[in-house]
A and B are shown apart, each in its own frame.
Chain A
Amino acid sequence: MTRYVMVADLRRCVGCQTCTAACKEGNGTPPGVQWRRVLDLETGTYPNVNRVFVPVGCQHCAHPPCLEVCPSTATRQRADGIVTVDYSLCIGCSYCIMACPYDARSLVGGEAGFAFGQQPTEAEAARAEGKSLGVATKCTFCAGRIDAGTARGLVPGQDPEATPLCVNNCISGALSFGDIEDAFGPVASLLAENKSFRMHQSEGTEPGFYYIWDKGTL
């Protein structure tokens, strides 16, 4: 069984936000909406301070709280673990936004506007038809690219045409993607060789987003 996950190597992430920009460009999200964000965390007290860049977004949980609360069944989970939103069913109640422990969902209603003045970019024009306005939206792991790629026999996470845009564009190799059930795949190897955690594990959501923080196994 395929289970797509993303891995962020926190040792490598430099906080450049290229993944954020690539996601916005590719998905045409409205101004103010970022499906892939990079948080800049500063901790400690001078002179003992640390700075960590943490890519965040939909964690494509195995047990998604958003799916549980959605009253319209617009939020669904594919067999490969990707959590999706059916824009034609969603009523825009925002309940899924309240249920997400990762603050990964957004809702923009009415006129969303464009990033650069009155004219939409190519990607914005694609969403200008309004399907994604007034409904909950979030990272899809670029499911369209994955589906198109796998239909051509490509491997997500290894072939760029079948890989999420944020991963393709990451300048430091911090982001990786793939099928965690593929024991010999790059994602499984990365997680086997490094120490990692998942956010809010106590919630029991089983996120599909891993954060590597050191070499070696736990």
Chain B
Amino acid sequence: MNRSLASPHQRNWDLRAAGNFVFGGTGAGLIVTAALAAASGAPFRPALAIGLLSVMLGLSLVWLEIGKPWRALNVFFHPHTSWMTRESIVAGALIPVGLIAVALASPAAVLAAALPACGFLFCQAHILRAARGIPAWRQKEIVPFVLATGLAEGSGIYLLAGEQTLPWLALALFAGLLREGAWLAYRAGLAGTPGSARSLGIFDTPAGRLARGAQLVALVVIALAALLEGFPGISLLLACTGGALAALAGWGLKALLITRAAFTRPVAVPVIPVRGSGGDPLRR
């Protein structure tokens, strides 16, 4: 029998920390999409620039959150095991390479930036996975979800900052479906974890339903944009709306995940002490 206390909510990571996952994830996804655009001859420079700015914005928000911001460089000290250090190192490679790619408008440099962008997203997913005090984050299914939503958000924003033609609509749709599958797997995994009912309940609040609804509507709207490609005006409007919704849905879910669904692990006492058998009181 397990007796546990209702656990409190984590008190230290607020919207600023969530901002790193929101903007960092979108930025990394957008940079990856920009690399695909560069490889296929589509416009990539605005998307790449926005992606980089987004990553930098996310990191700046974290910087505003930490207790000792002027020691921030200490974050690089523990690459052996810390995913936060690894994320910082990868960002340290991503930003200069990305800036060079923007400055030179070089497809080769964009492709070079896509690698650390993937790494950045991977590190973000594992930052949450390694947080063993928060059951909602340490689910193994959180890794594919963070990766998929980053790609869904990035490919969604590309519909606003790049092209709205069929290949990019198809990519956004594919990424959205990937995210949908990852989200369902994450929820199923969480449902099977003891003590996670309150975290799951957060996703059923009006805010959670709104984010989830935006995710589904984005899929429908992007699919419609693809089907109506023959009507450029309507397709453009639908593509931009769908792209924006795809990003907003991911932002909403991640913000909820970081700030509201993050209950700490409950205290567990597997047995009830046998009272009155504490032994000789003078023994110790």
Chain B residues lying within 8 Å of A67, measured Cβ to Cβ, are 81
Quick check: is B41 within 8 A (CB to CB) of the other chain?
Answer: no
Whether B273 and A65, one on each chain, are in contact in the complex, defined by CB atoms closer than 8 angstroms, is: no
Whether A101 and B84, one on each chain, are in contact in the complex, defined by CB atoms closer than 8 angstroms, is: no
Q: Mark B65-78, 1 if CB is under 8 A from A, else 0.
A: 11111011011111
Whether B3 and A68, one on each chain, are in contact in the complex, defined by CB atoms closer than 8 angstroms, is: no
Complex Cα spacing A101 to B72, Å = 25
Whether B74 and A11, one on each chain, are in contact in the complex, defined by CB atoms closer than 8 angstroms, is: no
Quick check: is B201 within 8 A (CB to CB) of the other chain?
Answer: no
Quick check: is B264 within 8 A (CB to CB) of the other chain?
Answer: yes
Chain A residues lying within 8 Å of B82, measured Cβ to Cβ, are 68-71, 95
Complex Cα spacing A203 to B264, Å = 14
- Which of B83, B272, B274, B281 interacts with A43 by CB under 8 Å? B272
- Which of A43, A95, A200, A215 interacts with B3 by CB under 8 Å? A43
- Which of A68, A133, A173, A214 interacts with B274 by CB under 8 Å? A214
Whether B274 and A65, one on each chain, are in contact in the complex, defined by CB atoms closer than 8 angstroms, is: no
Q: Mark A1-43, 1 if CB is under 8 A from B, else 0.
A: 0000000011110000000000000000000000000010101
Q: Mark B246-284, 1 if CB is under 8 A from A, else 0.
A: 000000000000000010110111111111111101011
Chain A residues lying within 8 Å of B230, measured Cβ to Cβ, are none
Complex Cα spacing A74 to B68, Å = 13
Complex Cα spacing A73 to B77, Å = 6
Quick check: is A103 within 8 A (CB to CB) of the other chain?
Answer: yes
Whether A93 and B271, one on each chain, are in contact in the complex, defined by CB atoms closer than 8 angstroms, is: no
- Which of A43, A93, A101, A213 interacts with B75 by CB under 8 Å? A93
Chain A residues lying within 8 Å of B132, measured Cβ to Cβ, are 65, 99-101, 203
Q: Mark A127-152, 1 if CB is under 8 A from B, else 0.
A: 00000011100000000000000000
Q: Assuming the A-B contacts A91-B68, A95-B131, are A72 and B77 also in contact, with contact meaning beta carbons closer than 8 angstroms in the complex?
A: yes
Complex Cα spacing A54 to B264, Å = 17
Complex Cα spacing A54 to B84, Å = 33
Chain B residues 73-103 with CB under 8 Å of chain A are 74-78, 81-85, 88
Chain A residues lying within 8 Å of B68, measured Cβ to Cβ, are 90-92, 134-135
Chain B residues lying within 8 Å of A54, measured Cβ to Cβ, are 267, 269
Chain A residues lying within 8 Å of B78, measured Cβ to Cβ, are 70-73
Interface residues on B, range: 35 or more
Whether B67 and A56, one on each chain, are in contact in the complex, defined by CB atoms closer than 8 angstroms, is: no
Quick check: is B127 within 8 A (CB to CB) of the other chain?
Answer: yes
Complex Cα spacing A186 to B132, Å = 32
**Number of contacting residues on A, CB 8 A?**
53
- Give A167's nearest chain B residue, CB to CB: B284
Quick check: is A185 within 8 A (CB to CB) of the other chain?
Answer: no
Quick check: is A199 within 8 A (CB to CB) of the other chain?
Answer: yes
Whether B269 and A71, one on each chain, are in contact in the complex, defined by CB atoms closer than 8 angstroms, is: no
Stretch of B4-12, B155-163, B208-216 lying at the A interface? B4-12
Quick check: is B192 within 8 A (CB to CB) of the other chain?
Answer: no
Complex Cα spacing A52 to B275, Å = 10
- Give A186's nearest chain B residue, CB to CB: B284
Complex Cα spacing A122 to B12, Å = 28
Nearest CB on B from A185, distance (A): 12
Chain B residues lying within 8 Å of A210, measured Cβ to Cβ, are none
Chain B residues lying within 8 Å of A93, measured Cβ to Cβ, are 62, 65-67, 75, 84
Whether B273 and A52, one on each chain, are in contact in the complex, defined by CB atoms closer than 8 angstroms, is: yes
- Give B4's nearest chain A residue, CB to CB: A41
Chain A residues lying within 8 Å of B13, measured Cβ to Cβ, are 94, 98
Whether A98 and B12, one on each chain, are in contact in the complex, defined by CB atoms closer than 8 angstroms, is: yes
Whether B5 and A39, one on each chain, are in contact in the complex, defined by CB atoms closer than 8 angstroms, is: yes
Nearest CB on B from A62, distance (A): 15
Quick check: is B238 within 8 A (CB to CB) of the other chain?
Answer: no
Complex Cα spacing A116 to B269, Å = 35
Whether A71 and B284, one on each chain, are in contact in the complex, defined by CB atoms closer than 8 angstroms, is: no
Whether A97 and B5, one on each chain, are in contact in the complex, defined by CB atoms closer than 8 angstroms, is: no
Quick check: is B48 within 8 A (CB to CB) of the other chain?
Answer: no
Quick check: is B137 within 8 A (CB to CB) of the other chain?
Answer: yes
Quick check: is B31 within 8 A (CB to CB) of the other chain?
Answer: no
Residues of B within 8 A of A (CB): 3, 5, 7-8, 10, 12-13, 17, 62, 65-69, 71-72, 74-78, 81-85, 88, 127, 130-134, 137, 262, 264-265, 267-279, 281, 283-284
Residues of A within 8 A of B (CB): 9-12, 39, 41, 43, 50, 52, 54, 56, 65, 67-74, 89-95, 97-103, 107, 109, 133-135, 173-174, 176, 186, 195, 197, 199-200, 203, 211-215
A93-B65, A100-B132 are known; give 11 further A-B pairs, CB within 8 A.
Answer: A11-B275, A93-B75, A94-B12, A98-B12, A98-B262, A99-B130, A102-B133, A103-B264, A173-B281, A173-B284, A199-B267
